[in-house]
Amino acid sequence: MTHAWACLQLSETGRPVARTRRARTLWHRFRGLMLAPPLVPGEALWLPACHAVHTALLRGAIDLLFLRGQRIIRVASEVAPWRVVICPGADSVVELAAGEVARLGLTPGQSLEVRPEAAGAERVA
């Protein structure tokens, strides 16, 4: 996928959460992370207009943030390959490397915002 990167950060503090790319097309949303290298800490895939995720053909577990607007309404940690996770009411999902939710202390109720990334910006650590 060739996408522009953006910075995902906590609205309340401005603390960076991850460098994210948006799955813009139906194909990119369907493909997601299938057969792709695993996400690394500090990187994410944002799936707009989405309330369910499958982990078919993934090489490892992932963490999921289900959003309604900018607010996290559900967190799913360490979701193993070949699973389906559904969150009615969500309007987008952020896929993160396994363990990122715990490392960053992300919980339902927090708000996130996506900001365009400046050219040449580094990954969030």
pLDDT digits (tens, 9 = 90+) for 63-113: 999 999 999 999 999 999 999 999 999 999 999 999 999 999 999 999 999
pLDDT of residue 32: 61
Instruction: Return the DSSP state at 27.
Output: H
pLDDT of residue 39: 85
State both tokens at 120.
């040449």
Higher pLDDT pick, 22 / 65: 65
State both tokens at 76.
């799913």
User: What is Dmax (Cα atoms) for the chain?
Assistant: 37
Rounded to whole angstroms, the Cα distance separating 40 from 97 reads 6
- Taking each continuous run of H as one helix and of E as one strand, the counts in the chain are 2, 9
Average pLDDT of the chain is 86
Q: Which helix (H) or strand (E) holds 103?
A: helix 100-104
Contacts of 125 (CB under 8 A, 6+ apart): 41, 42
Residue 119 has pLDDT above 60, yes or no: no
pLDDT of residue 69: 95
114: pLDDT confidence band, cut at 50, 70 and 90?
Answer: confident
CA torsion through residues 39, 42, 43, 48, sign: positive
pLDDT of residue 16: 94
3-state SS assignment for residue 102: helix
